[in-house]
Structure 1
Amino acid sequence: MSSQTKYNMVKEKITEWITSGKVQPGEKIYSENELVKMFGVSRHTIRQAVGDLVHEGLLYREQGAGTFCSSKKEQTMEQTPSLIHTSSSNGKNIGVITTYISDYIFPSIIKGIESQLTEKGYTLTLACTDNNVEKEKQCLQTMLSRNIDGLIVEPTKSSQYNPNIHYYLELEQNNIPYLMINQYYSQLMPPHMIMNDEQGGYMATEHLIKLGHEKIIGIFKTDDLQGVNRMQGFIRAFREHSLPFFPEMVITFSTEDQNNKLLERLENFFRTDSTPTAIVCYNDQLVLNVLNLLRRLGHSVPEDVSIVGFDDSSLAVASEVKLTSIAHPKMEMGIEAAKWIVNAVENRGDRPPSIIYEPELVIRNSTAPFMKVQS
């Protein structure tokens, strides 16, 4: 049985438990270890399947508690965001809004934030938007109703105009400091902590070019500023190395795009004479889906195709192919974000400068020199 088939089996079975009522709303599902034994699959397959169900709203996670079944009401767009709280000794409450709460890089960021806020005696109120502007609106309304003292937020669909801008202006009018992480709304130019994603995209692509690859495909999520910037770096690498560039070398997608449609577009490249020898992916999560496609098509990594991810997440070493990836500061960003917001709350009017983290390329065995086929 292929890894993709195993993944579908796990996802479909857990979905069946939810829809049939075997697992009730609010009820905790089996642990990761229990699911591994139950289905006889790898830990990576379980994480991928459960992560997808969290993103789809069928499951939700509570930090330190486990994974739970969502109610039908929680799965609607009009839901009031489920919030996670930590205790406080000084009455100060910091809101944190992320796009997702999953097994990807977000737990490390949140852990960094929580460790610093708890040390300072602050309450943490956490919510997520699923990268949906309507859910972001609900999150912002909830945070304002709770009279938060400061807000750390990961913007939703940051490359587009955001209809919730007025909530951020309301925060400013109420002298409530806020900090954006990973990306920011250019309409506001707010204080932010981000990766130099453009340079990261450049480094990932240049690494492949220096290995002798020229037929390189880039796959980027373009409703988020991160993906747009990574794509710009990808294009700059071709320009600076004087390599021919064609529009079809870039595949773009948005939050709503189905994975299968995206992979179908990639698969088309491997059905032509213009088979790419290398791929730069928006993040490590996407790489795992691409790896499954390549296996199905009979291509080996890195012997036939080299591949680079982004974020250097736990997924980078979760499969048999260890991913070359651009490192994300994760925990460090969370700690620094918490320090920033505490300083802003306690020293009203004093806003520390924004921080841009420079990328680092972590090289593993998913990339190799291009070997020309001898005729």
Structure 2
Amino acid sequence: MKTKHSIVREYIKSTILDGTYIPHQKISSESELMERFNVSRHTVRLAIGDLVNQGWLYRKQGAGTFCAERNTKDTNHMAQKNIAIITTHISDYIFPSIIQGAESLLSKNDYQISLFSTDNQHENEKQILEKILTYQVDGVIIEPTQSAISNPNINYYLNLEKLNIPYIMINAYYDELEPLSITIDDEKGGYVITEHLIEQGHRNILGFFKTDDLQGTKRMKGYLKAHRTHQIPINPTNIITYNTEEKMTKPREELEKILDQTNNELPTAIVCYNDENAMLLLESLRKRNIKVPDDISLVGYDDSMLSRVSEVKLTTIKHPQKEMGEAAAEMMLRLLEKNAGLKSDNEQIESIVYEPEIVVRNSTREIRELV
């Protein structure tokens, strides 16, 4: 359990790292901090004293306490060139391939890699950003956390910009920052995978989408657009949305409810947010002896290893996993060279959007001859 003075200390440190206080700016008074945290003056002074000793703050007799001008390069980092790679996950799904692609090129250029995972939680993202701002890495490659909803950590990215630390976003981006990014056209991907089912004769198509990430909202938009383009009425109950915390439970529960219906026509196909979601739903279908694709067609997204390990090989959208990592590393190196004056300021470095490519396997089938 954190002590009261450590809570006050971490709050002050956070306000420095998110850019609320700049060097030589006066921080909140002792009285204001006492009132904010409902603590004694002694507790506030302990917190401030720690930060003065660590070089975060300095005192002026009779004037108050001020944010210090810090040499944020820790002595352990001074001799090394360091790039932080932050993803929502590290050791599973498509992330090892993305990281491997970036790491291989960056290490060839003598950069050390620091890996971090947010677990798609804003609080974890905040703590990681504070850590890398403390040591001021040379650059950051980051997958945004819950990119479809308002992010409470935007100030930390603005502080990166102020410190001239380049960052690149992969898979998604925070729209308000308009950052350099490397993504797939997920709206088109959702459209292509849905259209594939429609062209096979499917009309009653379920869609499962994780909507706290931008990828999910865009894939859902593509799903809707494919229905409209082909003039197929959309049943609102066919769209199931869920968030990160619900990803292992809600999709299965909702599918079970739909399969339990006896008075409605059952769906003939399912569009899944990604391959992980597809494997989860495949397990539920197996328990009911519903065969894929004989009884129902199933599509995923990302062409992960999961799409190939089951006896049912998934039709899916290809994700340029290693290629994306390599492209992010190459873009970062160009940005660092530009910042160091080794490249012309006029050179344009632009975001990359990959075209989605469908990979057709045996999880889908035609259900009638098309006219």
Q: TM-score, normalised by structure 1?
A: 0.74
What letter corresponds to residue 363 of structure 1 in structure 2? V
Give the C-alpha shift of residue 358 in structure 1: 0.4
What is the distance in 1 between the residues matched to 2:91 and 2:205?
30
The aligned counterpart of 1:257 is: 246
**Distance (whole Å) between structure 2 residues aligned to residue 355 and residue 258 of structure 1:** 28
Q: How many angstroms does 1:91 deviate by? A: 2.5
Which residue number in structure 1 is paired with residue 214 of structure 2?
Answer: 225
- 1:309 and 2:306 aligned: no
The gaps in structure 2 that reach 5 residues or longer are 1-75, 340-344
Find 1:198's aligned residue among 184, 187, 199: 187
Tell me the residue number matched to 1:342: 333
Query: What whole-Å deviation, never above 9, does each CA across 1:21-75 have from its counterpart, x for those lacking one?
Result: xxxxxxxxxxxxxxxxxxxxxxxxxxxxxxxxxxxxxxxxxxxxxxxxxxxxxxx
Of 97, 103, 106, which aligns to 2:95?
A: 106
Structure 1 distance, partners of 2:191, 2:214, is 15
Q: Does 2:311 align with 1:320?
A: yes
- SS of the residue corresponding to residue 204 of structure 1 reads helix
Q: Paired residue for 1:331, among 317, 322, 331? A: 322
Identity between Structure 1 and Structure 2 (%): 50
> Matched residues in 2 for 1:90 and 1:192: separation?
29
**CA distance in 1: counterparts of 2:185 and 2:247, whole angstroms:** 28
In 1, Cα distance between equivalents of 2:350 and 2:323 = 16
Task: Return the offset for 1:259.
Answer: 2.1
Whole-angstrom distance in 1 between the partners of 2:134 and 2:78 = 21
CA contact (8 A) 1:154 1:180 kept: yes
Alignment partner of 1:188 out of 159, 167, 177:
177
Residue identity opposite 1:277 in structure 2: T
Q: Which moved more, 1:225-234 or 1:289-298?
A: 289-298
Q: Relative to 1, partners in 2 of residues 1:304 and 1:326: Cα closer, same or farther, differing over 3 Å?
A: same
Cα deviation for residue 352 of structure 1 reads 1.1
**Most deviating of 262-271 and 228-237:** 262-271
For residue 278 of structure 2, the aligned residue among 287, 302, 305 is 287
- What secondary structure sits across from 2:140 in the alignment? strand
Secondary structure at 2:246 match in 1: coil
- Partner of 1:187, secondary structure, is helix
1-structure distance, mates of 2:114, 2:211: 29
How far 1:270 sits from its partner (Å)?
A: 1.4
Q: Distance in 2 between matches of 1:229 and 1:160?
A: 13
- Following TM superposition, the consecutive aligned residue runs of length 4 or more in structure 1 with deviations greater than 4 angstroms are 87-90
Query: Cα distance 1:258–1:158, how it changes in 2: closer, same or farther (>3 A)?
Result: closer
1:364 to 352, 361, 365: 361
- The one-character-per-residue Cα deviations of 1:89-127 (angstroms, maximum 9, x if unpaired) are 972211110000122100000000000001111111110
| Equivalent in the alignment of 2:72 | none
Bigger CA radius of gyration: 2
| 3-state secondary structure, aligned to 2:146 | coil
Q: Is the 8 A contact 1:93 1:148 kept in 2?
A: yes
> Are the aligned partners of 1:88 and 1:118 in contact in 2 as well (CA < 8 Å)?
no
Report if aligned partners of 1:88, 1:121 keep a CA contact under 8 Å in 2. no
Query: Could you tell me which of 129, 137, 149 is aligned with 1:140?
Result: 129
Q: Which residue of 1 aligns with 2:105?
A: 116
The total of aligned residue pairs comes to 286
Residue of structure 1 in register with 2:267 after alignment: 276
- Please say if residues 171 and 184 of structure 2, whose CA atoms lie closer than 8 Å, have aligned partners that are also in contact: yes
User: 1:200 is aligned with what amino acid?
Assistant: G
- Structure 1 residues without counterparts, runs of 5 or longer: 1-86
Amino acid at match of 1:358: E
CA RMSD between the two structures:
1.7
Structure 2: which amino acid aligns with 1:183?
A: A
Q: What is the one-letter code of the residue matched to 2:99?
A: I
Cα shift at 1:247: 1.3
Alpha-carbon deviations, 1:177-212, whole Å to 9, x = none? Answer: 100000000111111000000000000000000000
Equivalent residue letter for 1:267:
E
Q: Residue in 1 aligned with 2:349? A: 352
1:149-197 alpha-carbon deviations (Å, 9 max, x no partner): 1110000000011000000000000111100000000111111000000
Q: 1:371 to 1:269 in 2, by over 3 A?
A: farther
Q: Which amino acid aligns with 1:250?
A: I
Shift of 1:339: 0.5
User: Offset of 1:145 from its aligned partner?
Assistant: 1.3
